[in-house]
Amino acid sequence: MRSRALMTRAGRAVVTVLTAALVLSGCAGIPREGGVRAGQPDIIDESPAQVFLPSRPQKDASAQSILLGFVDAASSPESNYAIAREFLTSDFSSSWDPTAGVTVDDGAGRVATEIDAQNIEVTLTPTAEVSARGEFREVDPIPVTLDYQFRQVDGQWRISAAPNGTVIDETTFNDVFSASSLTFSTPDSARSCLTCAGSRVGHPLPRRSSTPC
């Protein structure tokens, strides 16, 4: 059994693009009924957005290199996480659900342990998470272990089982997600603010729960 630090890949290609306003679907806490009143015009977010171009699987890569590449590639939801899915077996690729949630960590404390040739455990310490409903919350820094299984396909290692959702370090999370604020009236007529974080590459997710304005 071998353990080693699992770091995010350096030298990831980054392209700067301009994006329009984020579609704020899935934000928890937004009223679903009641009177409707005209609001302010939509604000277009013209700030530069980071689009990550992760590397594809390399020929004859070790299982641990495939794991590192997969975690790195899962930060890019382009074309329904097409590059990340290249690290998976074909049958698991169709069932893996990257939208099940996001685990955010500092990226520095990840440790990969080879259980055997076909199983690797990754231990990390989350700092925050985004649920499948899109609710962001900070969490206690308690280490968790994620299990990954591997199988060779045409002589190349691929991931055959892994947790749903994605693992993203804090720096990448802040680059990939941008915040937008909503203000609405609660049932008791008090104003409430909701700050939502939408992915700059097309996957809106709230960043914080609603709080009084």
CB count within 10 Å of CB 35 equals 6
Residue 122: how many CA atoms within 13 Å on its side-chain side? Answer: 28
Residue 76 near residue 56, CB atoms below 8 Å: no
pLDDT (tens digit, 9 = 90+) per residue, 81-121? 999 999 999 999 999 999 999 999 998 889 999 999 999 99
Rounded to whole angstroms, the Cα distance separating 85 from 98 reads: 10
pLDDT value of position 176: 74
146 closest CA partner among 115, 174, 181, 171? 115
* Residue 24: strand, helix, or coil: coil
Model confidence at 132, pLDDT cuts 50, 70, 90, reads: confident
Q: Which residues of 175-200 are buried (b: 16+ CB within 10 A; e: fewer)?
A: bbbbebebebeeeeeeebebbbbbbb
51 closest CA partner among 75, 84, 85? 75
pLDDT (tens digit, 9 = 90+) per residue, 1-58? 666 666 555 444 433 332 323 333 344 455 556 655 555 555 555 555 556 678 999 9
Residue 8 near residue 72, CB atoms below 8 Å: yes
Which residues does 116 contact at the CB level (< 8 Å), separation at least 6? none
pLDDT value of position 46: 57
The alpha carbon of 199 is separated from its chain's Cα centroid by a whole number of angstroms, namely: 9
